[in-house]
C-alpha cells in the first residue's frame, strides 16, 4: 500500500466505507465543493493485461462523486441510483488518476453528478451518476 500523497499539498480523503478503505487510499486537495481527488494505480488495482480494472475505475467514480455529494449536502444520507461509465483509454500501474467532480443539478431529492477522470491531463474515463437523498421525496 502506498500511503504517500501523489502530489504535494494533497491529503488523504477520510474514508468510512470498508470497501473504499480496502481499495484506497485516495487523496484530495482544494476547498469543499471544488476539490480535486487523486489516486495512484497499484498492482492490486490492475487486471491480467496490466491495465486498471474497470471495476476499480467505477469504484473510484462512485467514491469521488459520492464524496463531492457529501460535501454539498452537509453529509446527508445518500445512495447511488444509477451510474453511466465510458472507458475512454486504459490506465496502467503507476499512473495517477485525477478528477474534479462536477455538479450538474440538485433537486430536493436528487443530485446529478459527472466527472472526467484524467491521467496527465488526458481523459481516460468519464462517469455520470444520479444520487438520491434518503428521506426526501
Partner 1 sequence: MQRGRSHIALQRETPYQGTASYYAYLMTERPQGLPEEAREIPSVGFNDYVGPYYRLPDAEDGRLRRFAFVIAEKHMNAGGSVHGGMLMAFVDMAMGQTSRAETGAKGGSTVSLNSDFVGPGRLHDVVEARVRVTRRARTMIFLSAELFAGDRLLLVATGLWKVLGAP
- Contact positions vs partner 1 (CB under 8 A): 1, 16-24, 43-49, 51, 53-56, 58-60, 62-63, 77, 79-87, 90
Smallest distance from partner 1 to CB 110, Å: 14
CA gap 64, 36 in Å, rounded: 9
Q: Between residues 72 and 78, which has the closer beta carbon with respect to partner 1?
A: 78
Q: Between residues 60 and 113, which has the closer beta carbon with respect to partner 1?
A: 60
Smallest distance from partner 1 to CB 72, Å: 18
Biggest CA-to-CA distance, the chain: 45
Q: Between residues 21 and 34, which has the closer beta carbon with respect to partner 1?
A: 21
CA gap 29, 95 in Å, rounded: 18
Smallest distance from partner 1 to CB 69, Å: 13
Smallest distance from partner 1 to CB 73, Å: 15
Chain centroid to CA 37 = 7
Question: How would you write 62-116 as a 3-class SS string?
Answer: HHHHHHHHHHHCCCCCEEEEEEEEEECCCCECCCEEEECCEEEEECCCEEEEEEE
Amino acid at each position: 500500500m502506498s500511503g504517500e500523497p501523489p502530489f504535494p499539498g494533497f491529503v488523504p480523503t477520510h474514508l468510512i466505507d470498508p470497501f473504499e478503505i480496502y481499495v484506497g487510499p485516495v487523496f484530495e486537495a482544494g476547498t469543499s465543493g471544488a476539490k480535486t481527488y487523486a489516486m495512484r494505480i497499484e498492482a492490486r488495482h490492475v487486471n491480467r493485461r496490466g491495465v486498471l480494472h474497470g471495476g476499480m475505475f467505477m469504484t473510484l467514480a462512485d467514491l469521488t462523486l459520492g464524496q463531492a455529494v457529501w460535501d454539498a449536502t452537509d453529509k446527508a444520507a445518500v445512495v447511488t441510483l444509477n451510474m453511466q461509465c465510458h472507458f475512454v483509454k486504459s490506465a496502467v500501474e503507476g499512473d495517477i488518476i485525477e478528477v474534479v467532480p462536477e455538479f450538474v443539478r440538485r433537486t430536493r431529492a436528487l443530485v446529478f453528478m459527472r466527472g472526467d477522470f484524467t491521467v496527465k491531463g488526458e481523459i481516460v474515463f468519464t462517469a455520470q451518476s444520479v444520487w438520491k437523498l434518503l428521506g426526501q421525496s
